[in-house]
Structure 1
Amino acid sequence: MSHHIFTVFIQLTHLIFYESSYEHTVRLLFYIPSRRISSSTLLVLRISVQCFHHCLFILDGRFNQLHTLHIHLTNLGSPEAIIKSQAEIPNLKCFVLSCVLPTYDCDSLIPPLVHRMSNLEKLGLHLTIHVNATFIDGNNLKKDILNHMPKLNIFSFDLHSIASINNLIRLPLKEDIQQAFRNFPCTQITTRIDYFLEENWGQYHTYSYPFLMQYYKDITNNFPGGLYQ
């Protein structure tokens, strides 16, 4: 189907292939990374795909005029296929990435990709991440994202970190992580931490406002309310 879209509509500039309902997501599949699936006119793409390597195919130069990409993944894991292109993606100004399933590969996949977007002005990330030593906080985001993106002026995020308590260096308090967000470009940030000592795991959830997604996972008695409507 994806091949026919770009061969029939040769002057296409905007493509919204995305079902807003989380339960009824429609995905555009790229079974073969054919160069025929390309466009020199496409500017805006909102799309659902299966895997992270599909995201890499979209950004390998086949849509060289693309300036806005919203992409929703089912699985954010290490690519099954080898993507050779590591070139800059200079035309992209807005990039929003969300994923349904938790990932163990965030550090090796997301920072290297967004570092290639040298002119990015708006970034959105909605992810659930399994971590080892520390939860994702403002210090991680500054070091891995913000310090590499001088033109970024809007950063929206919804990050849900999950960890085994035994793997954490220490059990941070909510106040510790809020301190890490001091002088952060987002003015409204909500955080919560839950520790489940009998089950030996903890979760840390932080998000900027307005909230990126239409659903909220794993609500507990520590649900902050307020900014989420």
Structure 2
Amino acid sequence: QNVKSLSVESASIECILGAGIYPNLTELKIFNFNREIVPRYFTDNSLFQHIDQQQITDLILISNENYTEQPLTEDTTNVYAMILDFFKNLNHLSILPSSVNDYSHLSLYNSPPMTFSSSTLTELCINTNNFNDCLALLDGRLKQLTSFIVQTNHIYETSTFYNMDPLLNLECFSLTCYNRTRHYASVVLPLLRRMSHLKELNSYIYNWGGPTFIAGTHLDNEILIHMPRLHTFTFYFASKHGPVDPDVRISNSDILSTFTNSKYQRVACMVDYFGHWELICRVFSLPVKFHRLEEIGNNIPNIMFTTVTHLKLWDKHPFKHEFFIRLTQAFPFLQDL
């Protein structure tokens, strides 16, 4: 009866929840979650006959579905909406992939305006199909949201109109998109400027093209100036440009000299030239807290990337034995190369 938090495998959930009485249970964590569980258990009270589902305030679902194997359907959206409808007093909902490649994502495309809505939810951690789903989730359907952690598959512009009022309740925002985008300036920046009360910001963006590099001066003038309460800023920004002006050679020190704001702690950068055709400039806070890096070349800095588990290499020059020695030292927990 003193159990307040319970972690269960999806295959055992019926046995465990049906075997006891949990009057003080407020947090439920389910491993190997899949969409079939929701209509089976989260639509009536048969499984929760000893538990009032309204007492569950924290729900964490660890998915075992791979987005490459699961087609994006309206059913996914309906399933996630059922969760909020069933657990009516949720304060915290996390739907997490079991690895960086698994992706049980939410899509609100063509959904009614109040699909996936809640008047109690304050913390949400979820994967979405694209950035437009993020805009939809922040259009007023989750009015009490103070923390929003989202990984999205694509960032692009849309013709759909969303409520763009200031997000005055939001204090923590994390946006991760591992795929390249050409629409950082047109869609991401306007969203960030609505978050004037933000205290913590985490962002992974790979911007392709545009008039300027994402470096310290840009971050100061385009983002930080709109967030006077911000005290934690964790980021990884990559900017890819081409063709390259052969008369202008940008160095790591040139980029680092733009980070003069006291809000920055430790910052590093990587500037890679690929002939006269392309240049990739990466700036990131230290220690690196993201799990995946893309298009890394021979120019690996003397830094430990302890959180990176997935790495994609790309360079016009061949990778030699000495490079892989440095790579194993820089990425000690690499799982996928």
* TM bracket, shorter-chain basis: over 0.9
Runs (5+) with no aligned partner, structure 1: none
Q: 1:35 to 1:167 in 2, by over 3 A?
A: farther
Quote the residue 2:25 is aligned against.
Answer: none
Residues 1:207 and 2:294 aligned together = no
Where structure 2 has 5 or more consecutive residues not aligned to the other structure, the ranges are 1-78, 307-337
Q: Which position in structure 2 is the counterpart of 1:76?
A: 155
2:191 maps to a residue whose letter is L
2:190 is aligned with 1:112 = yes
CA gap of 1:184–1:161, structure 2 versus 1, over 3 A, is farther
- Amino acid in the other structure paired with 1:71: V
Relative distance call for 1:225 and 1:219 in structure 2 (3 A) is farther
Deviation at 1:100, TM superposition (A): 2.4
Give the one of 62, 66, 79 matched to 2:145. 66
Report the Cα offset of residue 35 of structure 1. Answer: 1.0
Q: Which structure's relative contact order is higher, taking Cα pairs within 8 Å and 6+ residues apart?
A: 1
Q: Deviations over 1:140-162 (max 9, x none)?
A: 00010011111111111011110
The residue identity in structure 2 corresponding to 1:210 is P
1:86 to 164, 170, 177: 164
Aligned to 1:11: 89
Q: CA contact under 8 A between 2:175 and 2:202: conserved in structure 1?
A: yes
Distance apart, 1:55 and its partner CA: 0.3
The amino acid across from 1:159 in the alignment is F
Greater shift, 132-141 or 155-164, is seen at 132-141
In the alignment, which residue of structure 2 is the partner of 1:222? 299
Aligned-residue offset at 1:228: 1.8
Q: Does 1:132 align with 2:210?
A: yes
User: Normalising by the residue count of structure 1, what TM-score does the alignment of the two structures yield?
Assistant: 0.93
Q: Which amino acid aligns with 1:153?
A: H
Distance across 2 between alignment mates of 1:184 and 1:193: 23
Bigger mean CA deviation after superposition, 160-169 or 34-43:
160-169
Divergent runs of 4+, >6 A: none
- Provide the secondary structure at the position in 1 that maps to 2:97: coil
Match of 1:47, SS state, is strand
Partner of 1:157: 235
Tell me, in whole angstroms, the C-alpha distance in 1 between the residues paired with 2:221 and 2:170: 21
Q: Which amino acid aligns with 2:224?
A: L
Distance change in 2, residues 1:90/1:159 (3 Å): same
- Checking the alignment, whether the CA contact within 8 Å between 1:2 and 1:30 is kept in structure 2 is no
> 1:5–1:119: structure 2 CA closer, same or farther, 3 Å change rule?
same
1:169 CA drift (Å) = 9.2
The CA distance in 1 between the partners of 2:303 and 2:112, in whole Å, is: 44
Structure-1 separation of matches of 2:220 and 2:146: 24
1:45 pairs, out of 124, 149, 154, with 124
Contact 1:111 1:145 (C-alpha < 8 Å) held by counterparts? yes
3-state secondary structure, aligned to 1:23: coil
Q: CA deviation at 1:133?
A: 3.3
Distance 1:222 1:64, change over 3 A: same
Q: Give the match's secondary structure for 1:142.
A: helix
| Paired AA for residue 126 in structure 2 | I
Deviates more, 1:70-79 or 1:109-118: 109-118
Q: Distance in 1 between matches of 2:237 and 2:98?
A: 20
Q: Is the 8 A contact 1:190 1:227 kept in 2?
A: no
Contact 2:240 2:280 in 1 (8 A): yes
Give the secondary-structure state (helix, strand or coil) at the position aligned to 2:140.
helix
**RMSD (Å), alpha carbons:** 1.8
> Residue 119 of structure 2 contacts residue 143 of structure 2 at CA under 8 Å; is this kept in 1?
yes
Matched with 1:145 is 223
Task: Specify the SS of the correspondent of 1:61.
Answer: coil
The AA in structure 2 aligned to 1:120 is L
* TM-fit CA distance, 1:210: 2.7
Q: Distance in 1 between matches of 2:247 and 2:190?
A: 25
Contact 1:132 1:167 in 2 (8 A): no
Higher Cα Rg: structure 1 or 2? 2
